[in-house]
Amino acid sequence: MSHSGNFEKIVYDANPILYYCFNHREKLRGNIVHFRVIGFTNKSINCTQHFINNNATIETIKQVISEICKKGVAKIVDEYCNDGQTKDLIGISRSSKIPQAMKLRLVKKTEDKIKDLIKKSWFSVIDYSPNSDDIERIRKFYKSLEPTPKMITHMNGKNRNVPWPSDVDMMLLAYSKENDAPILTNDTDFTNFKDELQSEALCFEIIELN
Amino acid sequence: MVSELPKYWPILYALYHLGKIYNNFNLQKYLFLAQREGHVPIKYVFSKDEYGPYCSNIKQDASFLHSQGYINMSFGAGWIFDLTQKGRIECGELIKKIPLRIRESVDQILDNYSSYSRAELGEYVYTEYMKSLEEFEELKHQLIEGSDFLLKDFQDLKPSSNSLFILGTLDYCRTALKKENLDDVVKKGHLLSVIGGYIEKYNGLQDCLEGTSELLPDIPSKWLKEDFEQVQNICSEYGVLPALYDENLDLSELLLEE
């Protein structure tokens, strides 16, 4: 986390939630193996503990949780299981595939941890309906960057045809601004344009999880 | 929820529906057929016996119900079971907790088979369910091929909670089939019937979607989740493969040497 400020509340993007919850100890051939996103799971846990210790409330919006449950968990598990290091950890050759049943188990365990997280007293899921003008302003901001080399590179990296991020991401920015709460994220849709978003007052603040 | 009911509920319910059951043999076969053909979640585990599929717990539970005053048991040409007034009241309470769909399944099985004589019932169960191990092995290979085909067909689905559920559960079924080595034809038949039924649902869905299997993850999977629970329960009960979500599962159980 490249920030040490104290906040009353902080908004979590999907990734910090996924990294926090993708943290499993499993039995494998009688030994215990630890499944986590190296680098990010620990960071997310440490950040979260830092905010809890400082009596901050951690929030996200319902749409983020919904997206996580529909696609986010599956995506992180799929990517993790396609990684050569994970195959090494499990003890299968890199040309083999990790069994789908194993992936499903990791999905279920991650979903269970998300359910537990939602119940924590320091974590809130907000039912938020953004103002459509705010969303349009954010969309126009990203659109205005379309011809810039920075955005062209960004769009190529994201393999996307439009410069603006998902509806949920734009809602999160609007929520951050409306509630004076920084967003914790490592999503390049936010972090690559952190300074611009902040100077245009389209969000309160972006805190990078890196 | 049926899972919250006492294990003996099907005994009371069968007596409630039929009034009287002549012979332990018939009681055993009615409950067996309700489990296999009616897909009723009956917890009794049947094994191969001289007289076909048999579960000693049924007789033990009937004796328990007798000791509690819920049923009468008398011995004539065989055991005769009937419900007491106390049992009728107890069953009336239990019925409120049994979903209509399940009650109708049991009713249908009892109505179908209660008219069979003991010999007819025995012959039917023997012919249908006491196949040779070789026949079951053949069926198992067909099911493995079927699951291979589906897994191949669905492998390009984009990762989502539902698509990983589909692929993960089919893979679990395939692993269970490859690992199972049951030599009790009743248990083997039960396992293959439950897994086969689960795989068949995906075949049915695929036919409905006419090759547009990318739409499959959009299909609500709540009812598939209930069916997969049953697959896991059977695999675990028969010691073939632990339940996928079992906290103590060793992941190596899911790895196949191919």
- Which of B157, B160, B178 best probes binding to A when mutated, by most A CB atoms within 10 angstroms? B160
Minimum Cα–Cα distance from B246: chain A residue: A105
- Mark whether A38 and A116 lie in a shared domain: yes
Q: How many CB atoms lie within 10 A of CB B237?
A: 14
- Mark whether A60 and A45 lie in a shared domain: yes
pLDDT of residue A106: 97
Which residues from A are below 8 Å from B244, CB to CB? 101, 104-105, 108
Q: Do B161 and A29 touch (CB under 8 A)?
A: no
Is the whole-model pTM more than 0.90? Answer: no
Which residues from B are below 8 Å from A69, CB to CB? 161
- CATH number for the domain running over B2-129: 1.10.10
Q: Do B254 and A104 touch (CB under 8 A)?
A: no
Query: Which residues lie below 8 Å from residue B15, measured CB to CB, with a gap of 6+?
Result: B21, B71, B81, B82, B83, B87, B91
- Mark whether A102 and A64 lie in a shared domain: yes
pLDDT of residue B218: 65
Short-list B15, B11, B81, CA closest to B40:
B11
* Shortest alpha-carbon distance between residue A94 and chain B (Å): 14
Q: Is residue A2 part of a domain?
A: no
**Torsional sign, CA B36, B38, B39, B43:** negative
Q: Do A101 and B175 touch (CB under 8 A)?
A: yes
> Once rounded to an integer, what is the mean pLDDT over residues A124-146?
95
pLDDT of residue B226: 85
Q: Count the domains in chain A.
A: 2
- Edge-to-edge strand order for the sheet containing B79-83? B20-22, B79-83, B71-75
**B249 DSSP assignment:** -
Q: Do B159 and A74 touch (CB under 8 A)?
A: yes
Which residues from A are below 8 Å from B249, CB to CB? 27, 105
* Shortest alpha-carbon distance between residue A102 and chain B (Å): 7
pLDDT of residue B211: 61
pLDDT of residue B11: 97
- Mark whether A107 and A15 lie in a shared domain: yes
- Mark whether A35 and A106 lie in a shared domain: yes
Q: Which residues of chain B have pLDDT under 50?
A: none
- Of the CA atoms within 13 Å of residue B152, those in its CB half-sphere come to 6
Domain closes at, from A64, A96, A126: A126
Q: How many CB atoms lie within 10 A of CB B133?
A: 13
> Once rounded to an integer, what is the mean pLDDT over residues A13-27?
97
pLDDT of residue A109: 97
Q: Do A101 and B249 touch (CB under 8 A)?
A: no
Q: Is residue A201 part of a domain?
A: yes
- Mark whether A106 and A199 lie in a shared domain: no
Domain closes at, from A126, A149, A170: A126
- Mark whether A109 and A186 lie in a shared domain: no
**pLDDT, tens digit (0-9, with 9 covering 90-100), for A166-202:** 999 999 999 999 999 999 999 999 999 999 999 999 9
> What ipTM does this complex have?
0.88
Q: Using CA atoms, how far apart are residues A21 and A43, in angstroms rounded to an integer?
A: 12
- Mark whether A102 and A140 lie in a shared domain: no
- Mark whether A196 and A92 lie in a shared domain: no
Minimum Cα–Cα distance from A100: chain B residue: B168
- Mark whether A95 and A171 lie in a shared domain: no
Q: Using CA atoms, how far apart are residues B34 and A185, in angstroms rounded to an integer?
A: 54
**Torsional sign, CA A170, A173, A178, A184:** positive
Q: Do A27 and B250 touch (CB under 8 A)?
A: yes
pLDDT of residue B155: 86
pLDDT of residue B157: 85
Domain, as residue range, for A61: 9-126
> Counting beta carbons within 10 angstroms of the beta carbon of residue B40, is it exposed (0 to 12), middle (13 to 18) or buried (19 or more)?
buried
Which residues from B are below 8 Å from A107, CB to CB? 161, 164-165, 168
**pLDDT, tens digit (0-9, with 9 covering 90-100), for A25-53:** 999 999 999 999 988 999 999 999 999 99
Q: How many CB atoms lie within 10 A of CB B252?
A: 14
Q: Do B171 and A111 touch (CB under 8 A)?
A: no
* Shortest alpha-carbon distance between residue B118 and chain A (Å): 44
- Mark whether A193 and A146 lie in a shared domain: yes
* Shortest alpha-carbon distance between residue A155 and chain B (Å): 21
Give the residue extent of every domain in chain B. Answer: 2-129, 133-254
Mean pLDDT estimate for chain A: 94
- Which of B157, B161, B173 best probes binding to A when mutated, by most A CB atoms within 10 angstroms? B161
Q: Do A100 and B151 touch (CB under 8 A)?
A: yes
Lowest mean pLDDT among A15-24, A117-126, A142-151, B152-161: B152-161
Short-list A86, A102, A92, A90, CA closest to B175:
A102
State the residue for tokens 């009353």.
A8
β-sheet bridge partners, residue A126? A61
Minimum Cα–Cα distance from B244: chain A residue: A105
Which residues from A are below 8 Å from B219, CB to CB? none
pLDDT of residue A87: 96
**A37 DSSP assignment:** -
Domain closes at, from A73, A97, A126: A126
* Shortest alpha-carbon distance between residue A166 and chain B (Å): 17
With a cut of 60, say whether residue A1 has pLDDT above it: no
With a cut of 60, say whether residue A122 has pLDDT above it: yes
A82 in contact with B, Cβ within 8 Å: no
Q: Is residue A202 part of a domain?
A: yes
- Mark whether A88 and A165 lie in a shared domain: no
Looking at chain B, the whole-number percentage of residues with pLDDT higher than 70 is 94
Q: Is residue A101 part of a domain?
A: yes
β-sheet bridge partners, residue B89? none
B contact set with A (CB within 8 A)? 151, 159-161, 163-165, 167-172, 175, 244-245, 248-252, 254-256
